[in-house]
């Protein structure tokens, strides 16, 4: 079982790197959605006895992260008539290198961390750290609002992976609440993206500096 989980986590980490390297927003959203689906599958392979609650979480995650959110983002993108990240703050190659370095560092560091004995065998914690780092790199390094929204969602995926450690302790309500929050915030982001586009005639968040006091 743990072997399967690690496999999924490795794929997720690979997707992190893909998301850092791609310049087309369409691809970025697709990568993010795929990562969401993989994350949704994780609770299913983690446990020996399949509880209905885990099935529900998995279903909700796959549905939310894999379908609803990408749909909302794609619609915002189409409305704003952009499909490419043209002038990132941190270039694609440097961000790829940063992401790769971060992933390696997280994997190397895992032995230093004070973990519970049952978690030592899996790459759950390094994967979470690497995914959060990827989210941050996207948030810091990209100029377009939609790339940043994707960065934010990948960051959240990392937190979700962390949450898997606590799957048994965490009540289903909390997980559902988090998912609902994310969906709402993406909804808001897509509205904001639309507003930025109409006001500044571009999705470049650098224009937002004119709004400061």
Partner 1 sequence: MNTSLALVVAAAGMLLGIMTGRTAARIWLITTLVGVVAAATAALSVLNGADWEWRSGFTVGGELLHLRLDGISALFMMLLCVVGGAGSVYGSEYWSEIEHPRSARSGRLWWSMLVLSMGLVLVMSNGLHFLIAWELFALSAYFLITLDRQRSEVRAAGWLYLAASHTGTLCLFAFFTSLAAQTGSWEFGPMRDQAALSPLFWLALVGFGLKAGLFPLHIWLPSAHANAPSHVSAILSGVAIKLGIYGLVRFSGWLPMPENAGTVVAILGVVSAVLGVAFALGQHDMKRLLAYHSVENIGIILIGLGFAMISVEHGNAAWGSLALAGGLLHVWNHGLFKALLFFGAGSVLHATGTREMSRLGGLWRTMPWTAGLFGLGAVAICGLPPLNGFVSEWLVYLGLFDATILHESSAWEAIPAAIALGVTGGLALACFIKVCGIVFLGAPRSEAAAHAHECGKSMRSAMCLLAGCCVAIGLAPIVFWPAIARAASTWHPAWKVVQAPESLAPLGRVHVALAVLAITAAALLWRRVKHQGLKRELTWDCGYAKPSARMQYTVGSFAGIITEWFAFILRPVRHMHRPRGPLPHDASFEEHTPETVLERVVAPFANLIMRVSLIARRLQHGHVQAYVFYVLIGLAALAAIVIAGGGK
Q: Is the dihedral of CA 143, 146, 148, 150 positive or negative?
A: negative
Q: How far is the CB of 132 from partner 1 (least distance, A)?
A: 9
For partner 1, which is the closer residue by CB, 54 or 160?
Answer: 160
Q: Is the dihedral of CA 101, 107, 110, 115 positive or negative?
A: positive
- Supply 49's token pair: 């006895």
Q: How far is the CB of 172 from partner 1 (least distance, A)?
A: 28
Q: How far is the CB of 67 from partner 1 (least distance, A)?
A: 27
Q: How far apart are CA 145 and CA 126, in angstroms?
A: 28
For partner 1, which is the closer residue by CB, 49 or 213?
Answer: 213
For partner 1, which is the closer residue by CB, 44 or 143?
Answer: 143
Q: How far is the CB of 189 from partner 1 (least distance, A)?
A: 12
Contacts to partner 1 by CB under 8 A: 89, 112-114, 136, 139-143, 148, 205-206, 208-212
Neighbouring CB atoms inside 10 A of 84's CB total 11
The DSSP 8-state label assigned to residue 121 in this structure reads T
Q: How far apart are CA 70 and CA 67, in angstroms?
A: 6
For partner 1, which is the closer residue by CB, 52 or 209?
Answer: 209
């Amino acid at each position: 079982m743990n072997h399967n989980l690690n496999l999924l986590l490795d794929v997720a980490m690979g997707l992190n790197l893909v998301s850092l390297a791609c310049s087309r927003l369409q691809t970025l959203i697709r990568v993010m959605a795929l990562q969401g689906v993989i994350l949704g599958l994780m609770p299913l392979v983690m446990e020996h006895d399949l509880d209905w609650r885990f099935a529900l979480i998995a279903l909700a995650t796959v549905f939310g992260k894999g379908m609803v959110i990408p749909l909302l983002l794609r619609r915002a993108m189409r409305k704003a008539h952009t499909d490419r990240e043209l002038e990132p703050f941190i270039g694609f190659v440097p961000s790829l290198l940063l992401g790769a370095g971060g992933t390696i560092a997280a994997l190397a560091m895992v032995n230093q961390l004070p973990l519970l004995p049952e978690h030592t065998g899996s790459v759950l914690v390094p994967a979470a750290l690497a995914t959060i780092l990827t989210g941050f790199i996207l948030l810091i390094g990209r100029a377009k609002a939609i790339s940043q929204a994707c960065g934010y969602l990948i960051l959240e995926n990392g937190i979700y992976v962390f949450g898997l450690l606590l799957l048994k302790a965490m009540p289903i309500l909390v997980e559902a609440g988090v998912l609902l929050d994310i969906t709402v915030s993406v909804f808001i982001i897509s509205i904001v993206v639309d507003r930025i586009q109409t006001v500044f005639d571009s999705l470049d968040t650098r224009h937002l500096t004119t709004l400061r006091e």
